[in-house]
């Protein structure tokens, strides 16, 4: 995926170690995948804020115009979507195991969710240390 590889390259340029840059790329890939699976249309933005203490921050924003997330905490629990446990019989049809948002929560320093008039934004922040 182009977005993941480009974000990894930016992360290394910004000073993230190779492993941490790969974690950022995984988050980008998961967010992009969610837009494709669940959104109507969307985009991923990765920005580098070099002045954020201590040594900068990379910000991943996933914007989409799909439906809102009913319960973010539940959706970030592995094996769940935003309404509850995922029925094992539906896993193949829905195209995922329900572990993506939880993985982003474990990899990023901070995850934020905002509903907007035109859709939603999930933001994952990665500090440069």
pLDDT at 40: 83
By three-state DSSP, how is residue 33 classified?
helix
The pLDDT tens digits of the residues spanning 78-107 come to: 887 777 777 776 666 666 666 788 899 999
The pLDDT tens digits of the residues spanning 111-126 come to: 999 999 889 999 999 9
Domain 2-127 matching CATH 3.30.413.10: the answer reads: no
Please give the Cα distance from 71 to 106 (Å, whole number).
18
For residue 124, what are the CA distances in angstroms to 45, 53, 90, 95, 114?
11, 16, 28, 22, 12
Tallying the residues shown for the chain, one arrives at: 129
**Is the pLDDT score of 12 beyond 80?**
yes
Q: In this structure, are residues 7 and 55 in contact, taking their beta carbons and an 8 Å threshold?
A: no
**Hey, where are the domains in the chain?**
2-127
Predicted TM-score (pTM) of this structure: 0.87
């Amino acid at each position: 995926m182009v977005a993941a590889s480009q974000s990894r390259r930016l992360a290394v340029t910004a000073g993230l170690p190779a492993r941490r840059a790969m974690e950022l790329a995984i988050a980008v890939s998961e967010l992009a995948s969610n837009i494709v699976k669940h959104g109507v249309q969307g985009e991923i933005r990765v920005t580098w804020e070099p002045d954020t203490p201590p040594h900068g921050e990379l910000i991943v924003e996933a914007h989409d115009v799909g439906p809102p997330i009913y319960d973010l905490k539940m959706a970030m629990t592995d094996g769940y979507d935003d309404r509850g446990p995922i029925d094992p019989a539906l896993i193949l049809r829905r195209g995922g195991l329900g572990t993506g948002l939880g993985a982003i929560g474990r990899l990023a320093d901070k995850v934020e969710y905002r509903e907007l008039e035109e859709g939603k934004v999930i933001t994952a922040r990665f500090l440069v240390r």
